[in-house]
Amino acid sequence: MAFKLTDEHITQHARDGFTVFRQIVPTSLIADMRREVEAALPQVREKFGPQRQRFSASEEFGMNLKPFNDLNELPGLVDAARQMLSDDHRFTFSCILVNPVIRPYCTQWHRDSGHITSQPGFTGELAEEWANRILWPQYINQYNCPLYADGATWFVPGSQCRMTDTPGEIAAANAHADLFPEGIENRVTGVELERIDYNYTANMPGAVQLFMEPGDFAVYRPHGWHIGNYVHYTNRATLHGWPRSDEEAQWNSDFQKRLAAASEMATATATA
């Protein structure tokens, strides 16, 4: 059955910060992309190490990039982007997320906007402009498209629409420092580390796990709280990228320049 975008997809994306287009990618395209990833992975791990969790699809690894480019032009995806985001939105492929092979690993709970909101110039009109923009569902999105079953991504629904964090969210995120002291991987077994990873991940208030099958396609807003929790004994190859319009790209570039100038001025004033 061909994928059809519904009102629930649009509502869920706006309300929760994510939605999943189930089984939108044809099996033939999944097979083509799997073949390229599987052939490249030995070279990737030889170059970057066995715990590497992402790499860029590249001719350096002998990869045929056509299947990955074809994904971005898939008619069902193009139509979904137009209906849910805007007529000008297009998908851009960035990299492939893969499993570590020696031991499990989880990232820290985070919002991708930390590099914006932590800058000294992020005050006044710039902060207000950013706060207004994150309320628009068509701004600041990413996608994950798994080639194998994938439950690594967790998200806190609704957190993408607010600038402030709850005390519970802060405590859950900051527990990372105590739970993962330097060298912990040499002091516990892989099974014990997997349990620590899971408990840290699941302890975030309101968090939900995004279970996806091969050919699903999740669009989510990374300003919301999210995390990746990876095991080493299950194949993972998940395409990662973003939907973006020319207007959004131009606004983002302009905002970054204005923020950099404001931060430079704020730093100079503080050290004068």
pLDDT digits (tens, 9 = 90+) for 64-78: 999 999 999 999 999
Q: What is the pLDDT of residue 115?
A: 85
Domains of the chain (ranges; CATH) run 7-271 (2.60.120.620)
Q: What is the pLDDT of residue 211?
A: 97
Q: What is the pLDDT of residues 230-249, one digit of tens each?
A: 999 999 999 999 999 999 99
The pLDDT tens digits for 83-142 are 999 999 999 889 999 999 999 999 999 999 888 888 999 999 999 999 898 889 998 899
Residue 21, pLDDT > 90, answer yes
Per-residue pLDDT tens over the stretch 201-217: 999 999 999 999 999 99
**pLDDT over 70 percentage in the chain:** 99
Predicted local confidence at residue 237, as pLDDT: 97
End-to-end CA distance of the chain: 65
C-alpha to C-alpha distance for 13 and 158, rounded to whole angstroms: 9
Residue with tokens 């802060």: 170
pLDDT over threshold 80, residue 272:
no
Mean pLDDT of the chain: 94
pLDDT of residue 57: 87
pTM: 0.92
pLDDT higher than threshold 70 for residue 172: yes
Place of tokens 């320049």: 257
**Which two structure tokens, joined as six digits, stand for 97?**
């997320």
Longest Cα pair distance anywhere in the chain, in angstroms?
Answer: 65
For residue 157, give the nearest of 216, 225, 100, 99 by alpha carbon: 225
Under the banding of pLDDT at 50, 70 and 90, the label for residue 270 is confident
Position 1 scores a pLDDT of 64
Contact (CB, 8 A) for 91 and 204: no
